[in-house]
């Protein structure tokens, strides 16, 4: 926003946290351990990318449901840079079968489309307290 960048996490039960770094998902605990240990304010871009890579790898290696490759999304004033893959996994798995599902495998039981009519009545900028 106009006051600078902020990072907020909305938890599954509605809690809101703001910190200079965050991790969410099934591998978030080991990833947060890396972030808490190595984060420094005003990091250089390459140092920050390496920190995020290490945090994601920690999450992947300590959680069976987190996938393998590491992708990064870098957001700056100049724009957004998707780096896919940033690091490919050294642990490749050769699947024995291909999973293909025919259209209609999961039936749509009901469908209802409701158009919304919205009007902005009042708009204001409110500064949030951030650490």
The domain limits of the chain are: 8-87
Query: Hey, how many other C-beta atoms are within 10 angstroms of the C-beta on 107?
Result: 5
- Domain boundaries 8-87, corresponding CATH code: 3.60.20.10
53: Cβ contacts below 8 Å, ≥ 6 apart: 70, 72, 86, 87
Q: Are 51 and 39 in contact (CB under 8 A)?
A: yes
Q: How confident is the model at residue 128 (pLDDT cuts 50, 70, 90)?
A: confident
The pLDDT value given to residue 95: 67
Q: Which percentage of the chain shows pLDDT scores above 70?
A: 96
Q: Are 80 and 74 in contact (CB under 8 A)?
A: yes
- Model pLDDT for residues 6-57, shown as the tens digit of each residue: 888 888 888 998 889 999 888 899 999 999 999 999 999 999 999 999 999 9
Higher pLDDT, 48 or 64: 48
Q: How confident is the model at residue 81 (pLDDT cuts 50, 70, 90)?
A: very high
Q: Are 67 and 93 in contact (CB under 8 A)?
A: no
């Amino acid at each position: 926003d106009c006051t600078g960048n902020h990072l907020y996490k909305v938890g599954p039960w509605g809690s809101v946290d703001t910190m200079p770094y965050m991790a969410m998902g099934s591998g978030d605990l080991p990833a947060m351990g890396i972030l808490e240990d190595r984060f420094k304010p005003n990091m250089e871009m390459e140092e920050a990318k390496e920190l995020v890579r290490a945090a994601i790898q920690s999450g992947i290696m300590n959680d069976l449901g987190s996938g393998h490759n590491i992708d990064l999304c870098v957001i700056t004033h100049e724009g957004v840079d998707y780096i896919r893959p940033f690091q490919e996994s050294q642990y490749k798995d050769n699947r024995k079968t291909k999973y293909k599902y025919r259209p209609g495998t999961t039936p749509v039981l009901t469908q209802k489309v409701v158009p919304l009519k919205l009007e902005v009545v009042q708009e204001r900028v409110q500064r949030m307290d951030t650490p």
